[in-house]
Amino acid sequence: MSSEQSVEPGGGALGAPTAGTALLEVIGLSKAFSGAPALRSVDLTIRAGEIHGLLGANGSGKSTLIKILAGFHQPDDGRIIVNGDERPMPLGPRGLRDHGVAFVHQDLGLIPASTVLEHMALDSHGAAPGLRRISWRDERLRVEELLARFQVSIDPDALIEILSPVQRAMVAVVRAVGDQERAIGNARSLLVLDEPTVFLPRDEIDLLFALLRRLKSQGNSVVLVSHDLDEVLAVTDRVTVLRDGSLAGTRDVAGQTRQDIVELILGAPDEHVPHGKPTVRTDLPPLMAAEGLTGDRIQNLSIELRGGEVVGVTGLAGSGFEELPELLFGARTRRAGTILVDGREVTRPTPREMLDRRITLVPSDRKAEGAAQDLTVNENLALPFFGDHSGGWLIRWSALREQAQRICRRFNVVPPSVELTFSNLSGGNQQKALLGKWFQTDPLVMLLNEPTQGVDVGARREIFKLIREAVTDGMSALCATSDYEQLVELADRVLILQDGQVRHELHGAEITKDSLAALIYSEAAA
Amino acid sequence: MTAIDDTPATSTATSDAAAPPRRRFREPERFALIGVWIVLIVFFVLRVPDTFPTTANLSNMLGSQAVLLILALGLIIPLRAGDYDLSVASVLTLSAVIVAALNVTHGWSIWIASVVAILAGVLVGVVNGFIVARFGIDPFIVTLGIGTIVVGLSSIVADSRTVSGVDPVLSDVMLSKPFLNIPVDFYYAVVLCAIVWYVFEKTALGQRLLFVGQNRDVARLNGVAVQKLRWIGLICSATIAACAGVVYVGTTRSADPGSGAGFLLPAFAAAFLGSTTLRIGRFNPWGTLIAVYFLVTGITGLQLMGAEQYVQQLFYGSALVIAVVLSQAVRVRSLHKRVATAIPVSATPTTDLAEGENPTERSDS
């Protein structure tokens, strides 16, 4: 990657960070894995009382940087200064965790059957021997004070499992701050949040962000790692962008557009996938239709999916939009309604029946539902095709392997080695491989559930292009997502659900982020 | 599509010689157990040269383990689908006492008695599978309960005593016509091993079982009939356990309600130890065969050196624990190495590469 004007070594825009304003300074941090550089002399400065976004495509080095701070990896070179103290290298297995830096990972690390109080009382720093008696009365007072201070109204005795996703995230955040307070006294702490919003319903994210702002106002700092640029722009003060292991730049968010940041991440201008003319085949009967469909949330919903169109489905969390793909695929039990494929009713919809009728589902949770992570890429891509190529039960591995290689090449899966374990692919590449697998079955309809969740901007663009191409060739796609940007770019029409029913429908140019947000939230307010 | 060249590992895709993973020579860990086995053999040959490296001992070791091997081969079928079958040893017992009781007490033909015994095994498998698939209950508990019931039934069938004097025709088939000085039941076990290998590696059934064991949701969303396959797996293990029971009666000519009790742990030890070799992290038949004979080599050798009977429990028990620990450690290590060597670093301008060497770190997503 050639050096560009946008690169500002050392975060030059800041000027020299003076002692007292910088909570964390990382200078010239480098790390290579088996000779392959993952970080090249990266600088990062986190000021006291700021929310700082850390951005970059998959493989840009964000994870490596965070993992070095957390002590999972040891850096090859570089200096780390916390609160004015230079930390001796190597950092040791606890990283900066005993020095005022707390980490909250995507999975939050909470136990469903335990209470909020139990989690907060759990001394994750383990300094005291495990037999120290816990004074539950003191702990309760401490936890209540902590929750009150950050205006989090959650009952300390509530079980984690009854909390909403955003409440869980808030518990994890407050716990991390509380642990730091206990470990280092009342000094300011730095909280590192790694993709905290991926599993949160969009309309609740603001609650988490409000909490982060309260943390900030009390002198703490936050590092937010995220793929979601809208979120990052909404809440952060400054962002640092990494690209190919190097610093691409540090910017004040004020005055930056989404486009500026995307270009900084990609190192090239963002190209929108040309939407082109609508290719909807209104002359043909719908490829798939449902009438009076009722599931857990969905109520008496009717929908038609025609060849050549991408139908977006969205709404607030709980409105039922996230249920629709699985319901149509027969992966969830419907309570009522008929599903028709190519004009014929499917009397007992199951995933198998639907696959036989060339309906495919791309689930939202790749790790849990998309692929067997411990098996190879080849095996995962072969799964729907065992028994093909030979007309029976016998597997012809040579044919399947060639097919998997073809999929990987055609859909630009990197690295293109099909004998790798699937978990070795990054999120974007996993998704491209899985889409490629289903395109290989020549589907009539592709049901997509959050197809670009946790996928970086580059891969996301490619995925949109692939879907668009297939639709132009006559396929139909249903895309359930709460990502408005995606609907604007991809959908020909958008159904907005509320209480399990379609309340609004937008077509073509009517689909904008503003119109989507207005319709979705106006319903909520009403 | 951008110009991404095939790596050497993938460009030889035209030959159909190997099953999916082509890392035959890249992971020495896969052969570690065989290496330790050889060391063990050399050790015993040197230490007890008079009794260990003899035809009689070799023949005894190979033949005596056929029942265990057959049982373990049945066991790895539900294990591949992620299900524990704790009733296999009980089914072996039931099958053995049915053969003995019908033949000796009731005077039935040995062949009809054997068929009835195997059908009883099928029935136990059907019941196990029915409860697991229909009510969605963990087979660990279901097979534990059903297995205990089956032991009780065995006592009823055998009238709580040892039934001996089984028609020698059966033992003729199992033992008396040794080929290359090795009892024929060994060859039955090897044939079964080959069949299981073929089904696992070459058929859609085997691959679907694998996906069911790895991730039920993925299997289901890809159109695999998950519950049906789990049911089939449990029927296979019970049926094969019943066959092992018939072989058992053939080798001992008697059966009692305690016959199978000692087989459960060795079968699990062999299955798990087998999963640390040849195909790391996967239950595989040839690995299981190697594990069975590795275990018997150690036990026989130690006993020839003068160890007491209890060495058997010590050996099987530690083998199971060590196998489980090893399979975890080796798997993580080999994943590390594979990532480090297999990812062509910055092969393309696209940055969308899994980064780092730690396989558990799922990058930025």
What pLDDT score does A383 carry? 87
Per DSSP, B338 falls in state H
According to CATH, the topology of domain A9-110+186-266 is: Rossmann fold (3.40.50)
B18 within some domain: no
- Which one of A34, A331, A458 has the shortest CB-CB distance to B351? A458
Query: Which A residues, 411 through 440, put their C-beta within 8 Å of a C-beta on chain B?
Result: 412, 414-421, 423-430
Distance (Å, rounded) from C-alpha A329 to C-alpha A349? 7
Name the minimum distance, in Å, from the CA of A435 to any CA of chain B: 13
Reduce the DSSP state of residue A449 to 3 states and report it.
strand
Burial of A133 (0-12, 13-18, 19+ CB in 10 A): exposed
Q: Among residues of chain A, what percentage have pLDDT more than 90?
A: 15
> In the predicted model, is pLDDT for residue A475 greater than 80?
yes
A10-37 residue pLDDT tens? 333 333 334 347 888 999 999 887 777 7
- Whether A9-110+186-266 shares its CATH topology with A271-358+444-526 is answered yes
Question: Taking the mean position of all CA atoms in its chain, how far away is CA B58?
Answer: 22
pLDDT band at A64 (very low <50, low <70, confident <90, very high): confident
> In the predicted model, is pLDDT for residue A416 greater than 60?
yes
Among chain A residues, CA nearest to B360: A423
Helix, strand and coil percent figures for chain A, each rounded to 5: 35, 25, 40
- Beta-carbon separation of B218 and A369 below 8 A: yes
Name the minimum distance, in Å, from the CA of A459 to any CA of chain B: 7
What is the pairing mode between strands A336-341 and A310-315? unpaired
Read off the pLDDT of each residue in A93-97 and give the average, rounded to a whole number: 77
B25 Cβ under 8 Å from any chain A Cβ: no
- Which one of A352, A355, A427 has the shortest CB-CB distance to B363? A427
Distance (Å, rounded) from C-alpha B58 to C-alpha B348? 57
Read off the pLDDT of each residue in B111-121 and give the average, rounded to a whole number: 95
Chain A residues inside the 8 Å CB shell of B26: none
B128 within some domain: yes
Angle at A93 between CA A90 and CA A96, to 5 degrees: 75
Read off the pLDDT of each residue in A158-167 and give the average, rounded to a whole number: 82
Question: Taking the mean position of all CA atoms in its chain, how far away is CA B296?
Answer: 15
- Beta-carbon separation of A405 and B10 below 8 A: yes
Chain A residues inside the 8 Å CB shell of B214: 372, 374-375
Distance (Å, rounded) from C-alpha B226 to C-alpha B215? 10
B357 Cβ under 8 Å from any chain A Cβ: yes
B315 Cβ under 8 Å from any chain A Cβ: no
What pLDDT score does B24 carry? 45
Residue A491: partners with Cβ closer than 8 Å, 6 or more residues away: A310, A311, A312, A479, A511
Among chain A residues, CA nearest to B201: A395
Greater model confidence, A308 or A185: A308
B16 within some domain: no
B100 torsion bin: left (phi>0), alpha (psi -120 to 50), beta (else): alpha
What pLDDT score does A392 carry? 62
Q: Report the domain count for chain B.
A: 1
Greater model confidence, B131 or A367: B131
CB count within 10 Å of CB B177 equals 9
A257-266 residue pLDDT tens? 877 888 888 7
Where residue B158 sits, what CATH number does that domain have? 1.10.3470
A53 Cβ under 8 Å from any chain B Cβ: no
Burial of B70 (0-12, 13-18, 19+ CB in 10 A): buried
CATH number, domain A271-358+444-526 = 3.40.50.300
B9 within some domain: no
B252 within some domain: yes
The H or E element containing residue A293 is strand A288-294
pLDDT band at B288 (very low <50, low <70, confident <90, very high): very high
What is the pairing mode between strands A301-305 and A288-294? antiparallel
Q: What's the domain range around B53?
A: 23-340
Query: Which among A465, A379, A371 has a CA at the least distance from the CA of A423?
Result: A371
Residue A489: partners with Cβ closer than 8 Å, 6 or more residues away: A272, A273, A275, A464
B126-153 residue pLDDT tens? 999 999 999 989 999 999 999 999 999 9
pLDDT band at A427 (very low <50, low <70, confident <90, very high): confident
Per domain, the residue ranges of chain A are 9-110+186-266, 271-358+444-526, 369-442
- Which one of B225, B361, B365 has the shortest CB-CB distance to A455? B365
B350 within some domain: no
DSSP assignment of B3-38 equals --PPPHHHHTTT---S-S---TTT-GGGGHHHHHHH
B163 within some domain: yes
B351 within some domain: no
Which of the residue ranges A169-173, A298-302, B160-164, B177-181 would you say has the lowest mean pLDDT? B177-181
Among chain A residues, CA nearest to B348: A414
Tell me what the pLDDT averaged over chain B comes to. Answer: 82
- Beta-carbon separation of B13 and A417 below 8 A: no
pLDDT band at B363 (very low <50, low <70, confident <90, very high): very low
Distance (Å, rounded) from C-alpha B355 to C-alpha B155? 60
Amino acid identity of A263? E
What pLDDT score does A206 carry? 83
Q: Quickly list H helices, B180-225.
A: 184-202, 204-214, 216-221
Read off the pLDDT of each residue in A435-463 and give the average, rounded to a whole number: 87
Tell me what the pLDDT averaged over chain A comes to. Answer: 81
ipTM for this model: 0.74
Greater model confidence, A188 or A438: A438
pLDDT band at B346 (very low <50, low <70, confident <90, very high): very low
